[in-house]
Amino acid sequence: MNVVETSGLAKRYRRTWALRDCNLAVPAGRIVALVGPNGAGKTTLLHCAVGLCTATNGNITVLGGLGAGSLDALERVAFVAQDAPLYKYLSVRSMVAVARNLNSRFDQAQAEERLRGLEIPPDRKVGRLSGGQQAQLALTLALARGPDLLVLDEPLARLDPLARHDFMALVMAAVAASGFSVIFSSHVVSELERFADYLIVLANGRVQMVGDIDDLLTSHAVLSGPAEESDLVGGQFTVVQTRKATRRAEILVRTTGESRLPNGWESDDVSLEELVLAYLRDPSASMLPGPLATDELEVSEVAR
């Protein structure tokens, strides 16, 4: 089952296309990181998934074919929006009561236990909580709904490192306990690898790269060798990025397995952060799922 599936999804705000021709099929049981520069369409995609926006073209379904935003979908999809918007004039206890009454299945005992564990006072006004506590409260309310899919829009954006760690620890513990799927957008690329096992990179409203993170890392490599041979070696692979110094060159390439390198060249693993940043620096590069082509050099298909 796919927790999110889009087909030719496009969304236009007046004259600006926030999403274009977006085709995705996100499998269930994954923690999916959605990354991309500002304005890439991350929030729009997530809003479409939870029914906050309607597609201009194409369609989007969740949890195996439910219409995004339908009552059936809303019962099983929990969303924590950017900046965790909650009623700041309400007490934490009242905020929990609001969430309980807006949902047919809501585990109040679980929510209260989590809030006790987080040392969030129930009588305090939401607006007087710290940014980290507000994010934790929003997440607690979402988790208490017992979702099959949890959607988080930039949950770490305004949190300090400690709060980021605590927030994601809460997510991971809940996922470990309940096994639901998570999609979260983030700018904090350096921390993705610790949490996510599936990656979607968006740029300019289009899907630039998507796949299992392990597969993405094993299908890319950093080749380093003499700068004067970089064009020759690069020509044998799908080059994502080339960096040349006076004598040495580093090429980030896509591979499908072992490849023969000339003498003087080395192949190293690529980190997720390097990989994401390389794709973000070159919006024309893409790696999408589809039939693989092979050639005599056993490299993956050219996608540039």
Partner 1 sequence: MTTLAAAPVSPLRSEHPVPWKAMARVTWLQRRPALIGLLVVFVACALSIVLGQAGTHATYASFVANGCVQNRFHTPCGNFENWFAENTDLFSAMVIALHVVPVVIGVFVAAPLLSRELESGTFRFTWTQAVGRSRAVVTTLVLLALFVTVATCILGLLLNWFAHPFEIIGIESQWQSGLFDTTGPMLVAWTLFALALGTFLGALIGRTVAAMAVTAATVGGLLVVSFVWLVHQLEAFGALATNRLMPMGLNIGQLNVPGAQYNGPVGSWLVRAWFAGPDGKRLSAAAAYNVIGRMYDGPANGKVDPSRWLSIHHYIYWVSYQPASRFWVFQIIAAAILIGLAALLAFATVRIVRHRA
Positions in the binding site for partner 1 (CB under 8 A): 1, 3, 11, 13, 27-31, 47, 50-54, 63-64, 66, 71-72, 74-79, 81, 83, 85-90, 94, 97-99, 101-105, 138, 145-146, 148-149, 172, 175-176, 178-181, 193-197, 213-214
Minimum Å gap between C-beta 94 and partner 1 is 5
Minimum Å gap between C-beta 286 and partner 1 is 23
Minimum CB distance to partner 1 smaller for 219 or for 236: 219
Minimum CB distance to partner 1 smaller for 76 or for 243: 76
Dmax over CA atoms of the chain, in Å, equals 69
Minimum Å gap between C-beta 44 and partner 1 is 9
- 8 A C-beta contact, residue 273 and residue 249: no
Token output for 266: 């080395």
- 8 A C-beta contact, residue 74 and residue 51: yes
Residue 270: how many other CB atoms lie within 10 Å:
21
Minimum Å gap between C-beta 139 and partner 1 is 12
Minimum CB distance to partner 1 smaller for 169 or for 297: 169
Minimum Å gap between C-beta 185 and partner 1 is 14
Minimum CB distance to partner 1 smaller for 183 or for 223: 183
- 8 A C-beta contact, residue 292 and residue 212: no
SS (H, E, C) 91-159: EHHHHHHHHHHHCCCCCHHHHHHHHHHCCCCCCCEHHHCCHHHHHHHHHHHHHHCCCCEEEECCCCCCC
Of 123, 117, 114, 120, whose CA–CA distance to 134 is shortest? Answer: 120
Name residue, tokens 């490299």: 299
Minimum Å gap between C-beta 148 and partner 1 is 5
Minimum CB distance to partner 1 smaller for 38 or for 104: 104
Minimum CB distance to partner 1 smaller for 66 or for 202: 66
